[in-house]
Amino acid sequence: MIQKDVLLTSFNSFGVAVKAPWFVAVDSEKSLISILKDSRFENAWVLGGGTNTLFVDPPKRGIIKMNISGIEIVEEDAQTALVKVGAGVDWHHLVLWALEHNLSGIENLALIPGQVGAAPIQNIGAYGVELKDVFHSCRFVNRDSLELESYDTDQCQFGYRDSVFKNALKNKVVISYVWLRLVKNGHSLKTGYGAIESLLDSWGCKNPSAHDVARAVIHIRQTKLPDPKELGNAGSFFKNPIISIDMYKKLLDVHPDMPSYPASEGFCKIPAAWLIEQAGFKGKRLGDVGMHDQHALVLVNYGSGTGKELVAFSQKVQKKVLDLFGIHLTPEVNIL
């Protein structure tokens, strides 16, 4: 059912109050294809959970809300199960479903907000695991041909918070289903990420199960990341910048405490949260917008902040970090 002038406050996790001229929820590939033929939805913006979208101005185009549901095991062998998931399934619901079915591989990705269809676009990741580690393939509607196509892991060209869907296929396709290869038994759990290991130790958990790892991740996220249902936010607002080792060495002379993580050869990743905290923005608030006091990378709407105010604040952060460190922060969030 196509609706006119729909308020999007509850459809974006920043809780920005803008109206869409046209709005439709789709629950199948067939209805998705027929909506894409409708001139009101020609350049429609597609919303999953709305957890990575910041509306600055009211959208001038239609909004398609993805509601394709369903999780099923479509193939299995002794070790693994291939799981087909609708793009509209809530990501954390899928993580809980996998745990209930004793399937591991995505326990580190517990509590990531958003829907399954958006997961490949930015190759969601947390605590040492990325979607690409379990990804098998996805199916999408090509917006030019209105045909269905499938891509495997290689074709998706996954990188750090990156994929072909943010580059060559940006806004050209709508993902409808995702297939993941999950492990039935004997999966080697990834507990190496510092905070997980020490939390499991403190719980006396010597041989953790996938459930334990998920419990640890949920605990860590709940302690430092605000729940978008309670406080408008989109998780990390910026990507962690990748700089050359040469530049890092020069910066270390002036900022000897600057942390870094390995990236591709000759490069390293700097935690944006550290840069923002050093720039004095952790917990800093201007009116109803600001950077969270528990995690400097999370831009927060405390109530009636507008998209313009949120973006203006993020630009102040970018400018200060650039002035101080010569590093440009790139938003992870889609700014419309």
- Decide if 75 is catalytic: no
Is residue 138 within 8 A of residue 119, CB to CB? The reply is no
Interface stretch with ligand EPU, choices 8-16, 34-42, 175-183, 269-277 (CB under 6 A) = 269-277
Q: Does 235 bind ligand EPU (CB under 6 A)?
A: yes
Cα–Cα dist 296/65, whole Å: 30
CA distances from 231 to 7, 56, 113, 118, 289 (A): 18, 18, 13, 21, 11
- Decide if 161 is catalytic: yes
Catalytic residue among 137, 236, 260, 314: 236
Q: Does 299 bind ligand EPU (CB under 6 A)?
A: no
Site for ligand EPU in 236-265 (CB under 6 A): 236, 239-240, 259
Interface stretch with ligand EPU, choices 149-157, 167-175, 197-205, 268-276 (CB under 6 A) = 268-276
Q: Does 271 bind ligand EPU (CB under 6 A)?
A: yes
Cβ neighbors of 78 (< 8 A, separation 6 or more) are: 184
User: Among 175, 296, 300, 321, which residue sits at the site for ligand EPU (rule: CB under 6 A)?
Assistant: 296
DSSP state of 314: H
Site for ligand EPU in 85-144 (CB under 6 A): 126-127
DSSP 148-210: EEEEEHHHHT-BTTB-GGGTTTTTTEEEEEEEEEEESS-------SHHHHHHHHHTT-SS--H
Pairing assessment for the beta strands 148-152 and 242-244 based on DSSP bridges: unpaired
- Decide if 332 is catalytic: yes
User: Among 162, 197, 288, 332, which residue sits at the site for ligand EPU (rule: CB under 6 A)?
Assistant: 332
Q: Does 282 bind ligand EPU (CB under 6 A)?
A: yes
Nearest to 324 by CA among 290, 289, 288, 274: 274
Q: Does 215 bind ligand EPU (CB under 6 A)?
A: no
Q: Does 12 bind ligand EPU (CB under 6 A)?
A: no
Residues that bind ligand EPU (CB under 6 A): 126-127, 235-236, 239-240, 259, 271, 273-274, 277, 282, 295-297, 332
Point out the residues that are catalytic: 161, 236, 332
